[in-house]
Chains A and B, each alone.
Chain A
């Protein structure tokens, strides 16, 4: 692979990591919880879509829409039933609840669909483009992924910055007490935030499942969760733009390490990357310096 191709391929993968990171950041901003169940939630919604597309021969697009809808519902239900009671408790409790949900979702998916590997049929070709004799590591499928992820990011940006609903959501994340005094239904905004985040996660799940054969497995999305978390941390955990940039950084870094060091130990590289980032900037590369302690 030429360096240029590595970077192109890394960035294409990185947009998916960025989308997962965005899902984590949306929830972190509104409820100060890292949703470790995100990997399990997007796995589950992707399996629902797979059931429709692969087993019931429905179209790719119906699968995608159903996955996102299932994600929205799942996110809202999880927030109302499981997260609300621990939202104001010690942070450890919320972490443990989301981990429990991760395990439970993986187990239930294993019960329904088995623990074997299966493939998600992509809508677009996985063959790389050629320019003359030169191969470019970009396939129609990856082009679609980049466009879809960017479209969602822009839509979210418009929602948060340009609509009154977005303003209400931002205000309840920024200062729930004051927002409540001003008549914002804070609880409802939090539920909506979780729903939106899970919807973005569901999109990322369907997108990545189609990138290679045999991707689908109940535990197969754990890595995506860690990649998304790393991307979110690089971006400072608080900044949606940072999350997307973080995704691109992780995608490219992983491709470079894969190519020049070893292609077998991705998870170790992600761990190392995360530790290095947190040692250099414990609050992420993009966070503004904040006063930590007096």
Chain B
């Protein structure tokens, strides 16, 4: 189905309008939701940032990363340290939006830089080697605060609290957090959607499908692969920065291996390479712990079961998704949609 006029021709304009509508709807949603639900929405929104970046990396450019939680770690610590140490931030009593945006941008830039380093190493690696290195990254980076020479600066194993900037005027604090995260998520998805349908996105796909053909067509394969890592690290850094603010603190324990694998679960479950899939996937992996807690209260299960149920479901979701619907929820929906259309088409033909 194609839209008429300029909307049908300009992807940029269409995506922009969609983004505006999404922000409007989300703002409206935060008005009617409780504080608790707003915090959940904020959790979903920053997860969307990270999962969308991962789906671009793994789905479009074909490089697996099991270590995007480590980039979240980098982003979160960047925000936390800037908010802790920068006097200019604290002298502004009350609130100043612009500084906060700068701090978040810093988290994006620092994480992107780290992503560039990892990507430079990753561009030489394929398949299981890349998976192993990024897995080691997910475990290896978040232990750095334990290093004795960095302990005083990074707060050691216990981490340190993050003083989040105050909300403007009379806005509810939790609603304000949900706003920031939702705007960031919509902006991220908007930018990534345009990237995916641009020249760069086509280059990612070309490299994923056939490196040799891509390089014969004149594409700088290694540079494109590094760029994909930079993009996904940047979005993960943003997600980490937002996480630090929403969670009010950072510590190495907030970035376990299961965080990185949870992000992968979100991207895979939604359908690798699909941005809307990354959104469903993020909603699922964020709400799952809560659902499993509710369920186990009703069934009065033991705390061991309650604590581990979400991880078990992530794991099973990954396995089942790969065995039953390797293209994820988005692929499943597309299949159902195509079948329905075919059936409608068939009946139309029959009645004609």
Contact = CB atoms under 8 A, between A and B. Distances in A.
B326 A110 contact: no
B332 to A, nearest CB: 16
Contacts of B319: 82, 97, 100-101, 104
B25 interface: no
Contacts of A102: 261, 315
Interface string B198-230: 000000000000001000000000000000000
A293 B212 contact: yes
Contact of B133 (A95, A237, A274, A293): A274
B305 A111 contact: yes
A148 interface: no
Contact of B136 (A96, A108, A111, A271): A271
A223 B257 CA distance: 11
A277 to B, nearest CB: 10
Contact of B143 (A89, A237, A268, A278): A268
Interface in B250-269: 256-258, 261, 264-265, 268
B50 interface: no
B144 A265 contact: yes
Contacts, number: 169
A107 B315 contact: yes
Given A100-B317, A226-B139, A282-B125, A82 B133 contact: no
Contacts of B305: 111
Interface in A216-254: 218-219, 222-223, 225-226, 229-230, 233, 237
A114 B308 CA distance: 9
Interface string A195-222: 0000000000000000000000011001
B11 to A, nearest CB: 28
A275 B264 contact: no
A265 B310 CA distance: 28
Contacts of B24: none
A265 B147 contact: yes
A233 B129 CA distance: 8
6 contacts: A104-B319, A107-B312, A219-B257, A226-B135, A262-B149, A268-B144
A103 interface: yes
Given A93-B326, A264-B147, A278 B121 contact: yes
B318 A99 contact: yes
Interface of B: 58, 62, 64, 66, 121, 124-125, 127-129, 131-133, 135-137, 139-141, 143-144, 146-149, 212, 256-258, 261, 264-265, 268, 272, 302, 304-305, 307-312, 314-323, 326
B135 A103 contact: no
B304 A114 contact: yes
Interface string A130-166: 0000000000000000000000000000000000000
Nearest to A103: B315
A104 B314 CA distance: 7
Contacts of B261: 99, 102-103
Given A34-B131, A96-B322, A271-B136, 20 more contacts: A36-B131, A91-B127, A92-B272, A93-B322, A95-B131, A96-B264, A96-B318, A99-B318, A100-B320, A103-B261, A103-B318, A105-B315, A112-B304, A115-B307, A218-B308, A219-B256, A229-B132, A262-B149, A267-B139, A267-B140
A106 interface: yes
**Interface SS, A side:** helix
B124 A103 contact: no
B309 A107 contact: yes
Contacts of A107: 308-312, 314-315
A279 B319 CA distance: 31
A113 B304 CA distance: 8
A111 B132 CA distance: 27
A159 to B, nearest CB: 25
A100 B135 CA distance: 13
A293 B325 CA distance: 32
Contacts of A269: 140
Nearest to B118: A275
A229 B66 CA distance: 14
Contact of B125 (A33, A86, A278): A278
Contacts of A274: 132-133, 136
A35 B311 CA distance: 19
| Those 4 A-B pairs whose CB atoms lie nearest each other, nearest first | A100-B318, A271-B140, A103-B315, A104-B315
A67 interface: no
A268 B141 contact: yes
B308 A108 contact: yes
A272 interface: yes
Question: Interface centre among B128, B133, B305, by most A CB within 10 Å?
Answer: B128
A179 B309 CA distance: 43
Contact of A270 (B124, B136, B265, B316): B136
A274 B258 CA distance: 21
A91 B141 contact: no
A159 B295 CA distance: 50
